[in-house]
Structure 1
């Protein structure tokens, strides 16, 4: 176990002209830690996630990632090819809409297999066997391996997207409202599955959600955002059980009244 963080973020800001996307965000993320970023729509949490995952370049600030050789690399100084390689191998990104994270016109097995090929696997039998194993881990029957994702339900697509992201053994996974748009019963099963996989694999994850129940179930630590700024952060149970910022108190009380 290392005594250094996996990701160091310092004074990260993104502006769209005069509009604030996120401003002056600073935190460290440790190996195996799940950080939830919560806030209402327009709070800046998705902008922050897109900056951290290099889908968006920030206006200012730095984010340094500890590579597998132990060296920290400044993400925004990497070349585009280097960042893309990181996204295909060491990182995963689970979209709210699984169609954004899947190839809808190739089979479920091929969706998982593509990620394996990106890290150098070439043996067809081995790739297919690994795909079968991962489909079973996300509760998709082996006999659906040759079906295309468009034949799947929303919950199955989301589970397939998770398998596609985790099959390469990433160290960091970004999740953007991973249970958004799903029925409550489907959400509950997906959350149980995600929590188990994250724990079993020792993943670090940054989860963006407006749902405090998702944050409590998945994360050890959380940041609350409002108008692009972090208004409160701390251990998840502490923030939810003893919120200190007025905005966090409002968020928590609004959930309790439902």
Structure 2
């Protein structure tokens, strides 16, 4: 494993006219590491995630990424074709609403197979076999392979979206509130699944969440945002067990009182 960061962000800023989305944020993430970005609604955490994932143009700043060949590229310098290929292969993006990350009108197997075809797989039997295997890995019965996501529960759709993202063996996955909107029991099962897959595949992940329990379970490090700025950062256990900024102390205390 290289000591160089997998992704490096420097002075990321996004403004909407006079309104600050996020301001002057720098961070690194290494292979196999999970970073949580936490904060209340409107803190800028999703804006930051979308800037890092190149889904939103930055007002200022730089994001660089270490490719599989070992070269580090400034993502602003990629061609559109290179950027699309990166997003289909080396990266995954798990949306809070699985409908945003799935093709609702095609089968579960086709949702997974589409990602494989994007990297050049053409053998129908092998694609279907891989899709079947990944459905099993995310605890969806293989007999549902030809069912459309519209026939699935919210938790099953989220698990299908995860399979669709991970089938290409990405090195970095962006997750935007991956357990948001799910029942508590479904959240717990999904978190257990996610933690297992992240460990098995040695994935790097950047997880946006307002739920500190999710951050504790999944992440190694965390950053706390308020008003578009980072106000505290550190190892997850340290930040949650010994918060130093008054706002972080308030967040942690509010969870303990529930």
- Matched residue of 1:224: which SS? strand
- Matched residue of 2:76: which SS? helix
User: Which residue matches 2:31?
Assistant: 31
User: Which residue matches 2:12?
Assistant: 12
Question: What does 1:83-94 align with in structure 2 at a 5 Å threshold?
Answer: 83-94=83-94
Shift of 1:209: 0.2
Question: What does 1:181-192 align with in structure 2 at a 5 Å threshold?
Answer: 181-192=181-192
Q: Which runs of 5 or more structure 2 residues have no equivalent in the other structure?
A: none
Which TM-score applies when normalising by structure 1?
Answer: 0.99
Between the aligned partners of 1:207 and 1:34, the Cα distance in structure 2 is: 7
Aligned: 1:150 with 2:150: yes
Aligned: 1:239 with 2:244: no
- Matched residue of 2:32: which SS? coil
What number of residue pairs does the alignment pair up? Answer: 258
Between the aligned partners of 1:2 and 1:157, the Cα distance in structure 2 is: 35
Residue pair 1:44, 1:225 contacting (<8 A) in 2 also: yes
- Matched residue of 2:2: which SS? coil
User: Which residue matches 2:109?
Assistant: 109
Between the aligned partners of 2:106 and 2:37, the Cα distance in structure 1 is: 33
Between the aligned partners of 2:189 and 2:201, the Cα distance in structure 1 is: 18
Between the aligned partners of 1:16 and 1:203, the Cα distance in structure 2 is: 32
Aligned: 1:204 with 2:186: no
Which TM-score applies when normalising by structure 2?
Answer: 0.99
Residue pair 1:57, 1:76 contacting (<8 A) in 2 also: no
Residue pair 1:34, 1:204 contacting (<8 A) in 2 also: yes
Deviations 1:126-162 (A, max 9, x none): 0000000000000000100000000000000000000
Q: Which runs of 5 or more structure 1 residues have no equivalent in the other structure?
A: none
- Matched residue of 2:63: which SS? strand
Between the aligned partners of 2:94 and 2:188, the Cα distance in structure 1 is: 17
Deviations 1:163-215 (A, max 9, x none): 00000000000000000000000000000000000000000000000000000
User: Which residue matches 2:178?
Assistant: 178
